[in-house]
């Protein structure tokens, strides 16, 4: 049963958010930090993201029952009562915000609250109504970098804004690619993703456009002097892998193309995180 509660938190999402927040923290701190701040940021953020995912699971349990990849989730299958799940999510959230406030700082807590509110109160219900929900969700998905940056520096500035923008732009092609290779699942559940609201080809074009926006935001950090050549080389190399996956076989079946672009987007994210994390070390 404990495993089912663990699955409610969507661990993959928790770990991905923690990864980019950690990279941003190390970048912003220049690797000079108090262990308490780092631990408080990581633990607090992980708990907040886990809480948001539990609430998302509770709201989505109806459509989850209709999709092959989600029909066995605890709330969709009824193996965990909704009331217990909501209580679990509440405890996680309270513990997460308290940890951020007490061990990191108030600004990082506020940034986490922003991401939580957008994800739970705006994105989750909007996903059932409009394909524009992905744009709303991208703001929540980028919040962890603000949490990491604020925990390290106690402020949010232009550099933080560019990292936030880059991650928000990365979210769009990442999730549009999921929508393409999970198209039939979303069709059965009546979720209005972009490939369904318009066409798969329109989604492919949007993916390429947002990918371009992402790499320009990455380069902007270098252009303003916030990162050096090592950062730029790592970021561009990982993006090139993503771009190659998207441009080669553009006319391939939509599901195969979408899966390939989705997997390559994870490489681009890891490359961006690595570039940020090592930038202060390689600039010395």
Q: Are residues 172 and 125 in the same domain?
A: no
Residue with tokens 């965990």: 80
113 and 164: one domain?
no
State both tokens at 123: 């994105």
54 and 8 Cβ atoms separated by less than 8 Å: yes
In a domain, 161, yes or no: yes
Asked if the structure places residue 207 within a domain, the reply is yes
CA dihedral 43, 47, 49, 51 (to 10 degrees): 180
Q: What's the pTM?
A: 0.96
Q: Is residue 140 part of a domain?
A: no
Look at residue 82 and tell me if it is in a domain: yes
CB atoms within 10 A of CB 29: 18
- The domain total for the chain is 2
Would you tell me the crossing angle of helices 200-223 and 158-181 to the nearest 10 degrees? 160
Give the model's pLDDT for residue 283: 76
Nearest to 238 by CA among 213, 218, 253: 218
In a domain, 124, yes or no: yes
Q: What pLDDT does 15 receive?
A: 96
Give me the CATH number covering residue 190: 1.20.120
Rounded to whole angstroms, the Cα distance separating 91 from 7 reads 16
Whether 141 is in a domain gets the answer no
Give the pLDDT of the chain (284 residues) as one tens digit per residue: 788 899 999 999 999 999 999 999 999 999 999 999 999 999 999 999 999 999 999 999 999 999 988 888 999 999 999 999 999 999 999 999 999 999 999 999 999 999 999 999 999 999 999 999 999 999 999 999 999 999 999 999 999 999 999 999 999 999 999 999 999 999 999 999 999 999 999 999 999 999 999 999 999 999 999 999 999 999 999 999 999 999 988 888 999 999 999 999 999 999 999 999 999 998 75
Residues 128 and 163 in one domain: no
Q: Which domain holds residue 124?
A: 1-133
199 within a domain of the structure (yes/no): yes
Please indicate, yes or no, if residue 45 is contained in any of the structural domains.
yes
Question: Are 74 and 161 in a shared domain?
Answer: no
CA 100, CA 116: separation in Å to the nearest integer? Answer: 13
| 79 and 122 housed in the same domain | yes
Write the CB contacts of 54 (distance below 8 Å, at least 6 apart in sequence).
Answer: 8, 9, 85, 86, 88, 89, 92
DSSP string, 79-140: SS-HHHHHHHHHHHHHHHHHHIIIII-HHHHHHHHHHHHIIIIIIHHHTTT-TTHHHHHHHH
Structure confidence at residue 284 (pLDDT): 57
């Amino acid at each position: 049963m404990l495993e089912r509660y663990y699955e409610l938190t969507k661990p993959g999402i928790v770990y991905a958010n923690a990864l980019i927040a950690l990279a941003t923290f190390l970048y912003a701190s220049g690797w000079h930090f108090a262990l308490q701040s780092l631990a408080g940021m990581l633990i607090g953020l992980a708990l907040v993201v886990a809480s948001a995912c539990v609430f998302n699971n509770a709201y989505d349990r109806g459509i989850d029952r209709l999709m092959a990849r989600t029909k066995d989730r605890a709330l969709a299958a009824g193996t965990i009562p909704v009331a217990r799940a909501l209580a679990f999510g509440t405890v996680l959230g309270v513990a997460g915000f308290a940890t951020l406030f007490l061990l990191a700082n108030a600004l990082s807590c506020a940034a986490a609250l922003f991401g939580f509110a957008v994800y739970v109160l705006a994105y989750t219900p909007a996903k059932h109504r409009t394909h524009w929900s992905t744009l709303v969700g991208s703001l929540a998905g980028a919040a962890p970098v603000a949490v990491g940056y604020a925990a390290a520096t106690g402020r949010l500035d232009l550099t933080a804004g560019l990292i936030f923008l880059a991650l928000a732009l990365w979210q769009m092609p990442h999730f549009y690619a999921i929508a393409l290779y999970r198209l039939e699942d979303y069709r059965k559940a009546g979720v209005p993703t972009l490939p369904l609201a318009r066409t798969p080809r329109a989604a492919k074009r949007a993916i390429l456009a947002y990918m371009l926006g992402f790499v320009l935001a990455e380069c902007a950090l270098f252009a303003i002097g916030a990162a050096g050549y090592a950062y730029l080389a790592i970021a561009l190399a990982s993006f090139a892998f993503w771009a190659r996956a998207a441009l080669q076989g553009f006319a391939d079946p939509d599901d195969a193309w979408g899966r390939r672009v989705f997997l390559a987007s994870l490489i681009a994210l890891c490359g961006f995180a690595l570039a940020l994390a090592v930038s202060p070390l390689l600039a010395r």
